[in-house]
């Protein structure tokens, strides 16, 4: 199931509303780039790869909405849409990556008619979406190799098909290993305050038939210390040039506990999540979200805290590179020292993209 896709008959983008899962499967349709930005901000769609694709389709809508009569006027309207979409959630680098890729596409079409430019932008957005699925499946194949035949895996937040176009990053590894016949059991962190683990990851794993146990976030250390966890798998919203990784709040605590318990800690993310322009995690902006997410979980009208309490609600934290065993990309696992090993992989990805090549799971089988 694709979580986001273009509907050519209506010239709209539709996406599953993740806010109402697992109780309801509802699809929303958008014909305005500003509505897409609001959907990203309001977490109708979430997950770094998914919002990068959503932003790309948002740019397609902006091109269709534009009343420009010249190419320069169209570029001006696209830049305005770019700024609105980028401001929706600035931490996840895939958002910027998708927007920049669409702007580059438009900038190179100076000899095309405006209608041809709009059509090319749509093809580019669809290409980004299709590549996401293939890249995720390839990461899954690479990551599955690192898991033993029988494994208890701890997972945080949601990184499955819902966080991407389809298949998933860290959960994609789990899905691939399960489909290979490995005996995988997953400890699913509930992931406060928005409960993406309880609402989304548990739902996806049950759809796939993967054995799982939902746990409170604070129980993770208990299972690790007792030797019941063989590996920790998480996704990423941005990876700095030195390997520092920004991911859902609570990830750093898991990485530190895994290190102390001698458990491998794997980050699973496509090369588009690696931001070589950012040297360390300290330079990455951390989104501060609505206090009501903490005081009124799952929109409970009564809330759980005294009225007027002061709240801190950072959406992400930074996991230092020294705590990460490997970063699993579509080109396989990358090991420390990350300040030396990330650059060649990002350069390889850029070269493949220029040549129109995309890695595939079949490539992994022939290695």
Q: Which residues are catalytic?
A: 237
Burial class (CB in 10 A: 0-12, 13-18, 19+), 16: buried
| Alpha-carbon dihedral 345, 350, 354, 357, rounded to 10 degrees | 40
14 to each of 6, 8, 11, 105, 272, how far by Cα in Å? 6, 11, 10, 23, 23
H-helix or E-strand containing 246?
A: strand 245-248
H-helix or E-strand containing 234?
A: strand 231-234
Q: Which residue has 């998480």 as its token pair?
A: 234
Please give the radius of gyration of the chain, using alpha carbons only, rounded to the nearest integer. 20
CA–CA gap between residue 260 and residue 237 (Å, rounded): 24
313 to each of 294, 333, 366, how far by Cα in Å? 7, 32, 45
């Amino acid at each position: 199931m694709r979580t986001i896709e273009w509907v050519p008959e209506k010239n709209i983008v539709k996406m599953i509303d993740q806010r109402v899962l697992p109780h309801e499967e509802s699809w929303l349709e958008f014909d305005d780039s500003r509505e897409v930005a609001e959907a990203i901000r309001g977490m109708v769609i979430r997950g770094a790869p998914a919002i990068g694709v959503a932003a790309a389709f948002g740019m397609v809508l902006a091109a269709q909405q534009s009343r420009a009569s010249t190419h320069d006027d169209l570029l001006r309207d696209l830049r305005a849409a770019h700024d609105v979409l980028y401001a929706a959630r600035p931490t996840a680098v895939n958002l910027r990556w998708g927007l920049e890729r669409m702007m580059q596409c438009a900038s190179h079409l100076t000899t095309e008619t405006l209608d041809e430019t709009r059509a090319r932008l749509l093809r580019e957005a669809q290409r980004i979406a299709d590549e996401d699925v293939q890249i995720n499946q390839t990461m899954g194949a690479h990551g599955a190799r690192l898991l033993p035949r029988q494994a208890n895996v701890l997972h945080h937040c949601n990184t499955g098909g819902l966080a991407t176009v389809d298949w998933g990053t860290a959960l994609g590894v789990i899905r691939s290993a399960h489909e290979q016949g490995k005996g995988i059991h997953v400890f699913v962190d509930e992931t406060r305050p928005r409960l993406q683990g309880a609402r989304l990851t548990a739902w996806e794993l049950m759809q796939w038939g993967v054995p799982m146990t939902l746990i409170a976030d604070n129980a993770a250390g208990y299972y690790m210390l007792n030797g019941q966890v063989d590996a920790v798998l998480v996704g990423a919203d941005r990876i700095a040039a030195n390997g520092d990784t920004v991911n859902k709040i609570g990830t750093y605590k898991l990485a530190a506990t895994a290190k102390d318990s001698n458990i491998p800690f794997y980050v699973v993310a496509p090369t588009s999540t690696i931001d070589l322009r950012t040297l360390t995690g300290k330079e990455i902006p951390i989104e501060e979200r609505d206090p009501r997410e903490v005081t009124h979980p799952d929109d409970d009208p009564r809330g759980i805290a005294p009225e007027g309490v002061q709240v801190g609600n950072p959406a992400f934290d930074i996991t230092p590179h020294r705590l990460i065993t490997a970063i699993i990309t579509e080109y396989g696992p990358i090991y420390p020292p990350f300040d030396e090993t990330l650059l060649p992989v990002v350069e390889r990805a850029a070269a493949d993209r220029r040549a129109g090549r995309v890695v595939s799971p079949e490539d992994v089988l022939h290695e």
